[in-house]
Amino acid sequence: MGSSRPFLLAVALAVAAAPRAASLELDALADAPAALEASPVLQIAVVDLRELPREVLRAAWSQTAAVLERLGARLRERSAEPGDAQDAGDITVVLLPGRPAPHLKPTVLGVVQPAGAPRVLWLFPEVVAAALGLPAAPGSVWMPRDEALLAVGLGRVTAHELVHLLCPGRPHDRAGLMAERMSPSILRGGPFTVDDALRRDFQRGAGGYSEAARNRVAGVRSTPIL
């Protein structure tokens, strides 16, 4: 892809299309920088089998990080390749081309590995694109504005699935980030409420994840995940 300036402009337009969304996410932490520094850190290792543009992935993880900050955690990201061994502290995020496997609903945006190791989260960019009203055929090429919208949607879906991964016993909410069917408004970067129960549950799960990762023997690797 050429210059990223059209994409950056599209990101700005996407934010403008969701009034107050960005400010709501920043305001939640404006008075708590020290608390954020002490919050749990989640490390994701990204295996991009869909081969999305780098700027789309960067914008997606920035959106995920903004949501996690509201939940009381921080995000770190690194790229990984198929066949890499999973580091002890990693949550692997795999972006898959095409539609979900037949045993999953065709409208599934993402899915997580059941409790246990390795910790894996799968995303379906084409399904997210379809939910956003974007071209969704396998191998679709998106315009910069579409890519910016897709990045927001992927970031929000990733945050949703991370809650499931770290809080496996927590049911869906009726609305908002953790609704069973995420609304187009939330997918597009619209505002949502983080209540005390969701924040508490996530901080408990993220804290347990971070402590378990720290307590693993240095240098231990799991088997390759792909």
Condensed to tens digits (0 to 9), the pLDDT of residues 38-57 reads 789 999 999 999 999 999 99
CA 61 to chain centre: 6
Domain 7-215 in CATH 3.40.190.10? The answer is no
> What pLDDT is stored for residue 65 in this prediction?
97
Q: Measure Cα distances from 92 to 13, 46, 97, 106, 167 in Å.
A: 30, 6, 16, 22, 16
Read off the pLDDT of residues 113-126 as tens digits, 9 standing for 90 and up. 766 667 899 999 99
Which DSSP state fits 47? E
pLDDT above 90: residue 91: yes
Q: Domain ranges for the chain, please list them.
A: 7-215
pLDDT above 50: residue 22: no
**Continuous segment of H or E residues that includes residue 202:** helix 196-215
Q: pTM higher than 0.95, yes or no? A: no
Burial of 181 (0-12, 13-18, 19+ CB in 10 A): exposed
Q: Residue 216 — pLDDT band, cuts 50, 70, 90?
A: low
Q: Residue 18 — pLDDT band, cuts 50, 70, 90?
A: very low
